[in-house]
Amino acid sequence: MAVLTRARPRAGRRRAPGVRNRDGWWAAFFLAPQVTALAVFLVFPLGFAVVLAFMRWDGLGRKEWAGLDNFAAQLSDPEFGLAVWNTVKLALLTVPVGLALALLIALALNNVRGGSFYRVLYFMPVVTSSVAVALMWQIILAGDESGVLNNSLRSWFGLTPPDWLGDTGWVIVSIAVVTIWSSLGLNVVIFLAGLQTIPPQIVEAARMDGAGSLRIFRSVILPLLSPTIFFSTVVAVISSFQAFDQIYVLVRPEDNEGARTIVYQVYELGFKDFEFGMSSAAALILLALTLLVTLVQFAAQKRLVHYDS
């Protein structure tokens, strides 16, 4: 008891100015590496990109002021419009389907024996290199005789399947399948963590009150899991807006415009066309779009997300 009393901070205790200053310097000293790294690797590049969006620069020569020309050019460019539409389609396909599937699997794993084994199994694609994943799916989805899926569909069912990666209409669906497959594990683990925070007593009480499994899911689990679902939705939307590496390896959007996403547009403008101003403008428009969608999600969560247990 005496120890506790001594450890409690004494109210109203004032420290000498010298001590305060010394603590401040130490704090600054220890924070300096982190702040410096943030400034060098985050704030400066972001600021540079913002400035570049208002310039003309080929990456090698002089920069020239362009005003809002880059934004105007991008907003009136049909390729940019196509990239936005493809990105939105990808988000609409991957986010609801991916999250619903992950939730179903998490619900199944929540009560299964050997859950750790399945968790590892589902999480494996997440820790696999995205390039390796893309190459593997390239072999599966190839439209010619080398495609595993199409070969099977032809020989087993006599079907005439489309060229999943070559067809402008189907390519975004194929990309969505690969994206869902590779991100499923992460969402499953997040949902499982969320499910394990739900007190079993509440579920038990609902069951004793005569609620069936579906009712328990709809009226107990879903509301209590809504903060987790909200978090996963925000992350999934942002990820789908930033999709690039898998698409680049899987399809190469210059060969199939159905796979052109905003980030590919940013890459092509900057590193293939050497138009870094235009590229930065496209990146800023993407940032604004992501911010807008996230704000809408945050506005919606006030009504849909329950933080009280």
Which residues form the interface with other proteins (CB under 8 A)?
A: 26, 58-61, 73, 142-146, 163, 166, 168, 252, 254-255, 267-268, 271-275
Nearer to other proteins, 61 or 114 (CB): 61
Residue 132 C-beta: closest distance to other proteins, Å: 15
Residue 37 C-beta: closest distance to other proteins, Å: 12
Nearer to other proteins, 204 or 255 (CB): 255
Report the 10 Å Cβ neighbour count for 200. 8
Residue 60 C-beta: closest distance to other proteins, Å: 4
Nearer to other proteins, 168 or 213 (CB): 168
Q: Please, what is the Cα angle at 280 between 276 and 282, to 5 degrees? A: 115
Nearest CA-CA partner of 266 in 294, 247, 250:
247
Residue 161 C-beta: closest distance to other proteins, Å: 13
Nearer to other proteins, 20 or 272 (CB): 272
**Where do runs of H (alpha helix) occur along 197-275?**
200-208, 213-216, 222-241, 245-250, 262-267
Nearer to other proteins, 58 or 204 (CB): 58
| Burial grade of 295 (CB within 10 A; 0-12, 13-18, 19 or more) | exposed
Q: What are the structure tokens assigned to 243, written together?
A: 């999709």
Q: What are the structure tokens assigned to 93, written together?
A: 């396909």
Nearer to other proteins, 143 or 227 (CB): 143
Q: Are 176 and 90 in contact (CB under 8 A)?
A: yes
CA distance 31 to 25: 10
Residue 65 C-beta: closest distance to other proteins, Å: 15
Nearer to other proteins, 142 or 284 (CB): 142
Residue 230 C-beta: closest distance to other proteins, Å: 38
The CA–CA distances, whole Å, from 73 to 153, 281, 282 equal 44, 9, 10
Residue 31 C-beta: closest distance to other proteins, Å: 13
| Burial grade of 188 (CB within 10 A; 0-12, 13-18, 19 or more) | buried
